């Protein structure tokens, strides 16, 4: 659907502008919609995080997030969370938010003094954001794979179920964001994004930053609180 929309926007940007609807508040309806969507997403992630917290410490069998565990068969399981790796992926996601605002600033100010070269290159910043998002997903794939190798799956215990559901939902949101960013990059390469298109980049940026703030909460509540 995103790609189909991208093709429509890329081929008929002016027609798309004519069909934009505005509300009585004089605000763009798409921006109101994305904020309403983000509000609903707050509730979705709050339910997932509260499920994780309610089940925290109630797993009957290991592996556990912060404590070592010896199985009845005598096998020793280390604490499963890898804080250094997750800290690196958190840093990458935080930097992706910086790249995203720089991409939006480049689109909004295209052609203005002070926005020449790299500073005004929306293509570069959109690509950097998408690459940072893809890197975060790579870290998550590594983490999930290593957990499975260490004996934790979504069916192992309550921790595994709530952890994989929460972080899996977040990872899916990041993947959708990366696709969205690649779509904007495609449009930018095809016809160029200028100040008139700032709203479509702004909407994507809001989604991307929301994914970032959700991770800020997950990183603290899941990884850092023992």
Give contact residues for other proteins (rule: CB under 8 A): 17, 20, 22, 25-28, 31-32, 35-36, 38-40, 42-43, 45-47, 49-50, 53-54, 56-57, 83, 87, 90-91, 94-95, 97-98, 100-102, 105, 108, 119, 195-199, 202, 205-206, 209-210, 212-213, 216-217, 219-221, 224-226
Least CB distance to other proteins at residue 84 (A): 8
∠ Cα 60 141 169 (to 5°): 70
Q: What angle do CA 111, 20, 116 make, to 5 degrees?
A: 10
| Residue 4 C-beta: closest distance to other proteins, Å | 20
With contact defined as beta carbons under 8 Å apart, do 180 and 62 qualify? no
Q: Given the complex with other proteins, which of 3 and 54 has the nearer CB atom?
A: 54
DSSP string, 123-181: HHHHHHHHHHHHHHHHHHHHHHHHHHHTT--TTT-HHHHHHHHHHHHHHHHHHHHHHHH
Give 3 or 44: the residue with its C-beta nearer to other proteins: 44
- Residue carrying the six token digits 């095809």: 190
CA 82 to chain centre: 20
Compare residues 35 and 69 and give the one whose CB is closer to other proteins.
Answer: 35
In angstroms, give the least distance from the CB of 141 to other proteins.
22
Minimum Å gap between C-beta 150 and other proteins is 20
Task: Kindly give the pairing relationship between strand 69-70 and strand 76-77.
Answer: antiparallel
Contact 211, 170 (CB under 8 A): yes
Residue 44 CB, shortest distance to other proteins, in Å, is: 9
Residue nearer to other proteins on the CB measure, 81 or 137:
81
Which CB, 29 or 75, lies closer to other proteins? 29
């Amino acid at each position: 659907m995103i790609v189909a929309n991208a093709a429509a926007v890329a081929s008929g940007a002016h027609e798309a502008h004519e069909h934009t609807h505005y509300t009585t508040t004089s605000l763009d309806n798409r921006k109101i919609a994305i904020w309403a969507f983000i509000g609903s997403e707050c509730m979705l992630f709050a339910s997932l995080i509260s499920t994780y917290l309610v089940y925290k410490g109630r797993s009957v069998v290991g592996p556990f997030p912060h404590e070592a565990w010896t199985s009845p068969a005598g096998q020793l399981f280390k604490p499963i969370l890898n804080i250094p790796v997750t800290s690196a992926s958190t840093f990458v996601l935080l930097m992706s938010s910086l790249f995203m605002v720089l991409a939006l600033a480049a689109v909004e100010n295209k052609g203005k003094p002070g926005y020449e070269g790299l500073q005004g290159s929306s293509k570069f910043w959109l690509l950097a954001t998408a690459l940072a998002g893809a890197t975060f997903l790579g870290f998550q794939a590594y983490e999930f794979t290593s957990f499975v190798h260490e004996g934790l799956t979504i069916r192992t215990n309550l921790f595994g179920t709530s952890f994989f559901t929460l972080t899996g939902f977040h990872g899916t949101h990041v993947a959708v964001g990366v696709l969205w960013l690649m779509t904007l990059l495609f449009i930018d390469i095809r016809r160029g994004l200028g100040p008139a298109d700032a709203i479509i980049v702004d909407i994507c940026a809001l989604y991307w930053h929301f994914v970032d703030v959700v991770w800020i909460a997950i990183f603290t509540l899941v990884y850092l609180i023992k």
